[in-house]
Homo-oligomer: A and B are copies of this chain.
């Protein structure tokens, strides 16, 4: 890396956000392209973000009784085909193992694109009585979907995710679990990643292949495009019937169980980059940042500076996720740029004069604001600052989402709004898939969801003008 620093090396976000995104992924050392086309290598800094997401989410899961498991990565073709809509949805994008151990296989095996089918065969074996229910199981694993166009994190052929799969005694209990998990996802994205979400239900066209109902959390990126950030599905008995997942109910009769599944993935890292980043690089909310505070000494060659820097690091390292940069082959300016590129929430600068005054300088990444603080107040100062950065980053996204959300009553208005500035559009919809399709053709905007928080903005469909009672949020998507 050159001494010129990072800033000049990345594309301007307002000129070409796609290229900017790729630059950030690579310069911040989050991930890299590999010889396996469409698949990325997640580097330590990127993976540490994923670990923080995992830890937070897994704890929330377990508080609601989720248990982790592991099911095979390979699924026989005959299993994948058991649920009609499911195979139609996934068959075009699976990868097939046809040879193994030096021989052609009798039946080819796909690499899981999702695991409803293989898990359902086991649930069928394990379930016998209502007393066994519910099964509330999850797995953290890799999945593969052979996408034609790929982008690191946002749409990678292989990605990491968790997939929860539950079965229940009653439809009501399953439906409640579907919403419960959606709420956990909203918590993760809003409170950990500092990105506001819209919670709602997908339309028939946009729901998961094989589901009765799909719920989603939708987020808005820097450029006003939407990112589907987590989904939770209610299957009813769509899989439990073909997979024969039944139990003796309280009346002593055989009944098919009610099923759900839900997932979030490494796509969230793409969301973090796109929601918060700027022309200096990544910007990480403190709660998810692998490094929350980095100390950079100034004039390190001067007597006592290095020692004092190390002393400060030692004092703080058990309280915050800290790093110290003692390299002597790059300038402080280079180190500052690097901190900013990597989105480290707070940088501490400390030089001879600061030491003399018993102070240091805190530079926050979100606003680049500098403040001087007495060394004796550093711990509570950092604590407050990190909390403030977390809140401020959320607020900035929230304001952006508000300012880039418009209302449309007619198709002309819809198109004009979208042409003026990419963002979310709230509009009434009659429930007809043809209207949805027409809007997509005209504006490239898809229905994001029917938000739980409905607003009354009219009584007629934005497309066909017929009676409509559902408000839909629309937007172009990643």
Contact = CB atoms under 8 A, between A and B. Distances in A.
Contacts of A126: 32, 43
A79 interface: yes
Interface in A75-123: 75-76, 79, 91-102, 108-109, 111, 118-119, 121-122
Contacts of A39: 72-74
A44 interface: yes
Nearest to A98: B98
Interface stretch (A63-71, A210-218, A225-233, A347-355): A63-71
A148 B69 CA distance: 25
User: DSSP class of A's interface residues: helix, strand, loop or mixed?
Assistant: mixed
A160 interface: yes
A97 B111 contact: yes
Contact of A72 (B75, B91, B158): B158
B118 A73 contact: no
Contact of A48 (B67, B72, B97, B327): B67
A71 B68 CA distance: 22
Contact of A101 (B67, B70, B95, B119): B95
A79 B99 CA distance: 18
Q: Which 3 pairs between the two chains have the least Cβ-Cβ distance?
A: A101-B146, A44-B67, A95-B100
14 contacts: A34-B71, A36-B74, A36-B109, A42-B71, A47-B67, A48-B68, A51-B68, A73-B111, A74-B158, A95-B99, A97-B98, A98-B99, A131-B327, A141-B142
A144 interface: yes
Contact of A41 (B72, B99, B141): B72
A48 B70 CA distance: 10
Interface in A113-158: 118-119, 121-122, 125-126, 131, 137, 141-142, 144, 146, 148, 158
B72 A44 contact: no
A96 B92 contact: no
A329 interface: yes
A50 B70 CA distance: 10
Contacts of A99: 95-96, 98, 108
A35 interface: yes
A142 B141 CA distance: 8
A79 B91 CA distance: 28
Given A72-B158, A74-B95, 20 more contacts: A34-B118, A35-B121, A36-B75, A41-B71, A41-B122, A42-B69, A43-B126, A44-B67, A44-B69, A44-B137, A47-B69, A73-B73, A73-B111, A73-B144, A91-B102, A95-B109, A97-B111, A101-B146, A101-B148, A142-B142
Contact of A122 (B32, B72, B111, B329): B32
Nearest to A137: B44
A291 interface: no
A326 to B, nearest CB: 12
Nearest to A129: B329
Contacts of A111: 73, 97, 111
Interface in A14-52: 32, 34-36, 39-44, 47-48, 50-51
A99 B146 CA distance: 10
A224 to B, nearest CB: 30
Residue in A35, A40, A50 with the greatest tally of chain B CB atoms within 10 Å: A35
B118 A72 contact: no
A431 to B, nearest CB: 33
Contacts of A327: 131
A34 B121 contact: yes
A54 to B, nearest CB: 10
Given A35-B121, A92-B101, A99-B96, A329 B76 contact: no
Nearest to A78: B35
Residue in A96, A121, A125, A160 with the greatest tally of chain B CB atoms within 10 Å: A96
Contacts of A148: 101
A100 B96 contact: yes
A32 B126 CA distance: 9
A35 B96 contact: no
Contact of A34 (B68, B122, B141): B122
A324 to B, nearest CB: 14
Interface in A191-210: none
A92 B100 CA distance: 8
A342 to B, nearest CB: 14
Interface in A423-462: none
A98 B98 CA distance: 6
Contacts of A67: 44, 47-48
